[in-house]
Amino acid sequence: MVKVKNPEEIARLVTSGSYDKKRIFSITAHIDHGKTTATDYLLRRAGLMREEDAGQLQMTDSDDEEQERGITIFTSVVLLAFNDPRNPDDEEPYIFQLNDTPGHISFTGEVSRALRGSDGAIILVDALEGVMTQTETNIRLAVGEELCKPVLFINKVDRLISELKLSPKDTYAKIDDITKQVNELIKKVRPADSDWGADFAKNSVAVGSAKHGWGFTYEILKEKGLTPITVFEKYNDGDIQWLRENLPLDEPMLRMVVDHLPDPISAAKYRIPHLWGGDMNSELGQALAKSDPKGPLYGMITKIFLDPKRNYQATLIGRVFSGTFDQTDSIYLVGSRTANRVKRLGVMEITDILDIPKIPAGNLFALYGFICPSGETFIHADAVPKDKDEKSKIPSFEKIHYACKAVVSRSVKPQDPHDLGKLGEVVEKWLQADPTAEFRLDKESKEYILSGIDPLQIEILVKRINNQVKIDIGEPIIVYREKITQKSKEFHTKSSNAHNRILLYIEPLDEKTEELIDEGKITDLQNEKERAQILREEAGWDTKEARRIVDVFKGNLLVNGTSGLQRFDRVKNDLISAFRSWLSECIIAKEPALGIKATFTDMVIHEDPRHTQYAQTAGMAYSALALSMLNAEPHLFEPIQRIDVKTPQGTEGAINSIINKHRGRINNVIPEGEYVRVQGQIPAAEIIGIADEIRSSTQGRAFFGYEFKGFEKVPPSLEEEVILDIRKRKGMPIEMPSSKSFERFIYKRT
């Protein structure tokens, strides 16, 4: 059936193929549900894999670490060309631009980035395990956050037949139940004016087995004059090869993508207004809404691929949403505010770039030549306005939404102290590729503190880093947050030379503003008028106050509450730097602060620049912030994870005991046939090692997953103990913090 196997044809389809024949989509699922195995069959159909290797090779798991662990860690992009056998006279192939994404919570950032460049999603569910935590997360990310239209593939149906020995009736009921659960989740988050869902009768649900290479939709069964009973008969006869030959898995997947997932132009009409905050009536807005290859160049970098086999050189992967990207172009990165030349342009084929000189709108691309953070919006460098104010108003795509926060840390220290600078460069490169991780330098210990979603993500990162610079690595530790629970009084502090003064107070940020910052709708780089408008309309801020925001940093705000302040521009950057430094290592235990709004209402700045250097202004700001926080009922907040365990009937009591023992809480216990689903929440500090307990108590028969829920106050009975333990580990005085350390900075009128 496949007519296209050569790169020249792929290049032609990308450059000049019909838009109604293009599909950009991601395959998403909970870990080990079979995404990569299923993807093999599409690669086989496209002529990229031998028949006997499909379902075994897991070709898109190309990284050594992925092969060793047997899981997908990095999203792989592959372009495949197919002819539709239902239209034998149509010689123009479809071109699929496919993302095979990870299923482990540690790498959910890869899923979010892949979905931003996609228009559709195959939601894949294990027939035995059913809908799991990461399934729910992926549906929320795909359908709710990125408006990717879904179809459903229920995989591993062979396990219901061979392992559980279910009757046909019970098997159908299980499949129906999974479909209903998926549809309930889709309906909660789908666009209000859409009827998106999965329906076997409408051929947007396929069932099958990636392991054994068979699958079908309702349409395929009708065409072949078969019924689902045929599958049971062939398993009873041990004739799996018949199923593989007569109901090949790639056919239902191919048909679902062609018939139910949108082409780029159809998707742009509803995706662009959701993902882009610019003027839809402008020339650019109209071009984006039509995915117009003749419009102004506009696109997004969604993924950074650091290839271990090429000394971790960076390949940038993204999507062109308007205009045509030419290999001779220089592009301007809106967030970084830098122009960069492209050395090589093309499309990604797993780990290699297929060179293509021009990539029109409605296609993924890959480029080589520079590195930038994933999530960057870009335009043509020649289109950048000369006026500074106009340049600051260039609209960006909405920030990519991530399902998890960095809540686990490890110290990372170069074995050779001379490599400290090199280590910083290497870590920075990896964090540009994966913004869900964070790092900072502890100035006292000369160690980098690397933070991530969970220990596995950190483990993968430090292995990559160690390959480039030899490091010593500390044990995993939990990252807490320091928050306040009431407004402080004003504190008046002075610089150590007594020539400068500041008067400020802090208060908790309201929940809506915190949410806007977390979603990336409020940033430090955006135009102050735009930021003020969003805060006024969505969070009820006073316009004048909203326009006086000095800095936005990791869920916190600094506001200028003065009027007629002189010489502020001279110390503004130093004040911001001090504010960020204080937030990064706050007062209780040098943990990051969150949800703080700091407002300075008066400031005296000496007229002689020699007396207003950083050491002076930072000292008075730091002490004022510290005194204010100690006056605002500060507490330590710990990260909480949702936990979802599917366990055989009769073992749920043991699961409940494990969760309760680890300071967890049971929220739901739901019978699901021979299994019971236990849903609850548990502190991240208790997650480490819990997997072994769950496996031991259920003889390895339970399936489980978790995702970040939020931060909650550490229980009063534990708070002081936890704080003192952290302070001891960090080499701080083993005592609760007090205002005594900062009282010498208090300004007293004479």
Burial class of residue 459 in the structure, from the number of CB atoms within 10 Å of its CB (0-12 exposed, 13-18 middle, 19+ buried):
middle
Check residue 277 and give its pLDDT: 85
| Cβ within 8 Å of residue 225, ≥6 positions away | none
Alpha helices in 121-228 (DSSP H): 133-139, 157-162, 168-189, 218-224
In b/e form, how buried is each residue of 187-213, taking b as 16+ CB within 10 angstroms?
eeebeeeeebbbebeebbbbbbbbbbb
Which residues make beta-bridge pairs with 675?
Answer: 648, 672
Q: Judge whether 486 and 632 are in contact, CB under 8 Å.
A: yes
Q: Are 696 and 651 in contact (CB under 8 A)?
A: no
What lies within 8 Å, CB to CB, of 565 at 6+ separation is 603, 605
* pLDDT tens digits, one per residue of 560-578: 999 888 888 888 999 999 9
- Name the DSSP class of 618: H
Contact (CB, 8 A) for 568 and 603 = yes
Positions of the chain with pLDDT under 70: 1-6, 46-75, 103-104, 106, 443-446, 750
DSSP secondary structure of 241-287: HHHHHHSBTHHHHHHHHHHHSPPHHHHHHHHHHHHB-S-TTSHHHHH
> What pairing do the DSSP bridges indicate for beta strands 634-648 and 549-553?
unpaired
Nearest to 513 by CA among 556, 563, 476, 465: 556
Residue 616: exposure state from Cβ atoms within 10 A (0-12, 13-18, ≥19): buried
Q: What is the pLDDT of residue 325?
A: 96
For 472-517, the pLDDT digits (tens) are: 998 888 889 999 999 999 999 999 899 999 999 999 999 999 999 9
Domains in the chain (CATH in brackets) are 7-262 (3.40.50.300), 276-392 (2.40.30.10), 408-479 (3.30.70.870), 483-632+734-745 (3.30.230.10), 636-714 (3.30.70.240)
Coil, helix or strand for 94? strand
Q: What is the pLDDT of residue 73?
A: 58
SS3 per residue for 365-410: EEEECCCCCCCCEEEEHHHCCCCHHHHHCCCCECCCCCCCCCCEEE
pTM for the full predicted model: 0.82
Q: Diameter of the chain by CA atoms? A: 98
End-to-end CA distance of the chain: 91
Distance of CA 577 to the CA centre of its chain: 27
